[in-house]
Chain A
């Protein structure tokens, strides 16, 4: 699985959009970009995934660059409950292992 690079930490004011970047320059053609988050002491939680096109669901939006070498997770209106470690993972999909990196610790503040 391709490796990802994320900033170790970010801050965001409550109510503002949180934009979390991820570099995955060695991604191969059949690999998806997944985002998970881990709120303190809980199990990781799936957020969103995509292959080439931008994706949106009730939690977030995923913007993938045309060359697929980087992506951005957008939480449109961050709340205090969004404070967590966010992991960007590249994987070939179905029934595949997830290789977690160090992630980005997002701190949402008042």
Chain B
């Protein structure tokens, strides 16, 4: 049973397009996150939601819009994709201290 799952695993698209990445966790956690890992392997927090409410927004361009329809899901929608958005995006969830990460979505913008 997958704890934190993301779809799609790979996403290749053209500049200017709009795309979404979905994340689901079956751990019953209250808090979910999106992280971005760039080509230099730096892993940075983007957003955090607790019980469907946004609690962390780390100066991410407003082209990125997270949406949490319920506690088990945190989707990431990206408008007007740019070359610099190419990265691996990780979703995570947590209950108390430990964060569980998904397998990542590799986004390539051409």
Nearest 10 pairs of A and B residues by beta carbon: A43-B101, A100-B43, A97-B45, A46-B98, A95-B31, A44-B101, A43-B90, A97-B56, A43-B102, A43-B104
Choose among A93, A98, A100 the residue that contacts B42 (Cβ–Cβ < 8 A). A100
**Interfacial chain B residues near A49, Cβ < 8 Å:** 97-98
Q: Are B30 and A95 in contact (CB under 8 A)?
A: yes
Within 8 A of B (CB), among A20-70: 32, 34, 36, 38, 41-46, 49
Q: Are A42 and B96 in contact (CB under 8 A)?
A: no
Which residues of B are interface residues toward A (Cβ below 8 A)?
A: 4, 30-31, 33, 41-45, 48, 50, 55-56, 58, 90, 92, 94, 96-104
B5 to chain A, nearest CB (A): 11
Q: How far is the CA of A94 from the CA of B30 in the complex (A)?
A: 11
Q: A99 within 8 Å of B by Cβ?
A: yes
**What are some 19 contacts across the A-B interface (CB < 8 A)?**
A38-B43, A41-B104, A42-B103, A43-B101, A44-B90, A44-B92, A45-B101, A46-B99, A87-B43, A93-B97, A94-B96, A95-B31, A95-B50, A95-B55, A97-B48, A98-B99, A99-B45, A100-B42, A100-B43
Starting from the known contacts A99-B45, A100-B43, A102-B41, 18 additional A-B residue pairs (CB-CB under 8 Å) come to A36-B99, A42-B104, A43-B90, A43-B92, A43-B101, A44-B92, A45-B101, A46-B98, A46-B100, A49-B98, A95-B31, A95-B55, A95-B94, A97-B33, A97-B48, A97-B56, A98-B99, A102-B42
Which residues of A are interface residues toward B (Cβ below 8 A)?
A: 32, 34, 36, 38, 41-46, 49, 85, 87, 93-95, 97-100, 102
A92 to chain B, nearest CB (A): 11
Name the residue on B nearest A41 (C-beta): B104
